[in-house]
Homo-oligomer: A and B are copies of this chain.
């Protein structure tokens, strides 16, 4: 009886520790989402103070990645999780890498917002902001799916990446035409192009997080399989 109580107690503590890590990941996700939308707003409104704020906050994202990674390693060493508990820890370790990289995208957009020369490209910043909002929505939704470990919600996000890619291709074509018409604009337009590409990659990172959610729930690693196969697998 005592033994049983102790093991319940241990498992209760273990669950509390796992739950604390999960909460920490969601907090990190919230911060990254805020960083991304703030960076987009700073760019759109040419708000230098907000851009500087985003750049200053980036170290917090990095610090959270390191702290969560440490907590994951500690829980593995101390609690020796197996099965779905271990899958959760693994999914978290991978998720925070992608979140940190999205944080880097926010940081680089904020740096572009500080660079006055880019404002001569104002018409393009509007399409860039629309692209960014779409990526930020994907991030918001995938964090929701992660909070509930909801495969259906994750798949909805997963499917949205196609339209983000199409919008990105459209912007690229637009930017290329502009450069060809006005070659002096090339250095500045290129900056917009790098940012567009970085935002397009946010969509890919959200898709990665969807794959970790599926890995946790289904116990199956679905990276590197075709979208059609994935859809069949989850039916």
A80 at the interface (CB under 8 A from B): yes
A153 to chain B, nearest CB (A): 24
What 0/1 readout, one digit per residue, does chain A (91-102) give for beta carbons within 8 Å of chain B? 001100100000
List which A159-194 residues lie within 8 A (CB) of chain B: 176, 179-181, 183-184, 186-187, 190
The reply to whether B186 and A176 form a contact with Cβ atoms under 8 Å apart is yes
The reply to whether B223 and A62 form a contact with Cβ atoms under 8 Å apart is yes
The reply to whether B59 and A73 form a contact with Cβ atoms under 8 Å apart is no
A75 to chain B, nearest CB (A): 11
A233 at the interface (CB under 8 A from B): no
Residues of chain B with a CB closer than 8 A to A83's CB: 77
The reply to whether A86 and B62 form a contact with Cβ atoms under 8 Å apart is no
Q: Which of B62, B65, B86, B183 contacts A73 (CB 8 A)?
A: B86
The reply to whether B86 and A77 form a contact with Cβ atoms under 8 Å apart is yes
A76 at the interface (CB under 8 A from B): yes
A17 at the interface (CB under 8 A from B): no
A31 at the interface (CB under 8 A from B): no
The reply to whether A66 and B183 form a contact with Cβ atoms under 8 Å apart is no
A69 to chain B, nearest CB (A): 7
Residues of chain B with a CB closer than 8 A to A93's CB: 90, 93
Residues of chain B with a CB closer than 8 A to A59's CB: 224
A115 at the interface (CB under 8 A from B): no
Q: Which residue of B lies closest to A93 (CB)?
A: B93
Give Cα distance in the complex from A9 to B27, angstroms.
Answer: 44
Q: Which residue of B lies closest to A98 (CB)?
A: B97
A3 at the interface (CB under 8 A from B): no
On whether A66 and B223 interact (CB within 8 A), knowing A77-B86, A83-B77, A86-B77, the answer reads yes
Could you name 11 residue pairs across A and B whose Cβ atoms are closer than 8 Å? A59-B224, A62-B223, A62-B224, A63-B224, A65-B223, A66-B224, A76-B76, A179-B183, A180-B186, A181-B183, A186-B186
Q: A69-B221, A73-B86 are in contact. List 9 more A-B contacts (CB 8 A).
A: A59-B224, A66-B221, A66-B223, A77-B86, A93-B93, A176-B190, A180-B183, A180-B186, A181-B183
